[in-house]
Structure 1
Amino acid sequence: MRLVIARCSVDYAGRLSAHLPLATRLIMVKADGSVLVHSDGGSYKPLNWMSPPCSLSIAEPDAEQAEAGVSSVWTVAAKKSDDRLIVKVHEVLHDSEHELGVDPGLVKDGVEAHLQKLLAEQIELLGEGHTLVRREYMTAIGPVDILARDAKGAAVAVELKRRGDIDGVEQLTRYLELMNRDPHLAPVRGVFAAQEIKPQARRLAEDRGIRCVVLDYEAMKGVDSGVPTLF
């Protein structure tokens, strides 16, 4: 991961347009190719970003940009669209690179770990004909909770949460992006499973073609007729 603290302005062009005026910000360049621009506020959310697959190029400013104080121009280009994230760097205050290695992924609490075990044993709750491939299927950014096959043999990636929110949908989306690059798995469909799924998370999942399953934990622990609600 590369971390750059710089005085910069940022422009996003493509399906939408956005402009961040000159200010001091943190630019993160991750090993997966993503580029994120953060301020010192706003919690964990970046001000703007480009998700992989994308490419980063750094060029010298033109005469007009140099006269305005720009020292370099970063262009992050999406590979599947015409979207561009353009960062005009005026001054670099810090620039460092760090090797983080493979992340083991989020450690589940007791309920989530038990939900994973129960769903693996009762994989038919995902639908008739589903079969378990394995639990904790490893990807380059961590393990997806369950890899299964549906009745037609298509791969299904399942992310489990006690309470399903937008972060969980984003996490599953990243897993799906990587898994769908594997010709032995693709196409991989996503299932977001939880005891409770927030409305915003459900809308985001549906927009991305991810199926939501609400699990009855108590029924899974001891009642054979426990059936999830599908949305």
Structure 2
Amino acid sequence: MRLVIARCQVDYVGRLTAHLPMARRLLMIKADGSVLVHSDGGSYKPLNWMSPPCWLEERDSESVEPAKLWVVTNKAGEELRITLAEIEHDSEHDLGIDPGLVKDGVEAHLQELLAEHIETLGAGYSLIRREYMTAIGPVDILCRDSTGATVAVEIKRRGEIDGVEQLTRYLELLNRDPLLAPVTGVFAAQQIKPQARTLATDRGIRCVTLDYDALRGTESDEFRLF
């Protein structure tokens, strides 16, 4: 990543036109080719930018001496023209490969929370174990309902048809074990797509929508005014 702090003027020429008058700004040139123009305000959003694929060409400016002109062009022929009157800082940094965002509420955490609060599935439920191994992989949670019958639980952050198919395969194997059979299934997720719910219901699998905040013992204030 290249970071440049400079007094600059920015003009966007394309389907729309936009102009930023001369001022002190931060310019970011990322490894993926994107170019972003930031001020010291306005939160995270850049004042203007060009998304990849795009190409940066540095020229001598004809309008402001001894300024430099950056012309960033995308495949549509649009241009981000940055006139740099004075450069105060110019540095490059290798950030390496980013591992990506680890989101709060991923499947592993949901599994842990549901195991701790297994009665979320119903009164009288009890945990047998998490990650119950089968010949084709581990079942997220194996538990018993209030009658003592075995229940296999597959947990997803977003419930789709693939998850139902996965649970179906686990149930076929588990029901071959006379010590566990009969085994029923629960498909649990924060969001369950209608197609997945329909398939699960057709196969006798119960669907449960998980409230992540409730499992953590907190109450969501996302839509609260006060």
TM-score, normalized by length of structure 2? 0.52
Structure 2 residue 105 is matched with structure 1 residue 71: no
Matching residue within 186, 202, 206 for 1:224: 206
Distance 1:91 1:5 in 2: 9
Correspondence for 1:86 among 66, 81, 89: 81
Instruction: Decide whether aligned partners of structure 1 residues 116 and 36 sit closer, same or farther in structure 2, where only a CA change above 3 A counts.
Output: farther
Q: Which residue matches 1:142?
A: none
- Aligned to 1:106, which of 101, 104, 110? 101
Report the RMSD for the aligned CA atoms in angstroms: 3.8
What do the CA deviations read for 1:22-78 (whole angstroms, capped 9, x no partner)?
A: 00000000000000000000111110001111111101122xx1xx34511101111
Distance 1:46 1:225, change over 3 A: same
Determine the C-alpha separation between the residues in 2 that align with 1:116 and 1:2.
39
Runs of 4+ more than 2 Å apart: 112-118, 120-132, 212-216, 223-228
What do residues 82-111 of structure 1 show as CA deviations (whole Å, max 9, x unaligned)? 2111100100000000111001111222x2
**Residue 54 of structure 1: aligned partner:** 54
Partner of residue 24, structure 1: 24
Structure 1 residues 47, 116: CA separation in 2 closer, same or farther (over 3 Å shift)?
A: farther
Distance between the aligned counterparts of 2:158 and 2:8, measured in 1?
52
Superposed, 1:102-181 pairs within 5 Å as 102-109=97-104, 111-114=105-108, 125-127=159-161
**Contact map agreement 2:156 2:190 (CA 8 A) in 1:** no
- 1:122 CA drift (Å): 5.8
Describe the shift of the 1:44–1:127 C-alpha distance in structure 2 as closer, same or farther (beyond 3 A).
same
> How many residue pairs were aligned?
140
The one-letter code sitting in structure 1 at the alignment partner of 2:160 is: L
Taking structure 1 as reference, are residues 19 and 116 closer, same or farther at Cα in structure 2, changes over 3 Å only? farther
Contact kept? 1:70, 1:88, Cα under 8 Å: no
Aligned to 2:44: 44
Q: Give distance in 2, aligned partners of 1:20 and 1:116.
A: 47
Q: Distance in 1 between matches of 2:156 and 2:164?
A: 10
Between 35-44 and 123-132, the greater mean CA deviation after superposition: 123-132
Change (3 A) 1:124 1:93: closer
Answer yes or no: is the 8 Å Cα contact 1:39–1:46 preserved in 2: yes
Counterpart Cα distance in 1 of 2:74 and 2:165: 36
Q: Is the 8 A contact 1:78 1:84 kept in 2?
A: yes
Paired residue type of 1:49: W
Distance in 2, matches of 1:44 and 1:72, equals 26
Runs of 5+ in structure 1 lacking a partner? 133-193, 197-211, 217-222
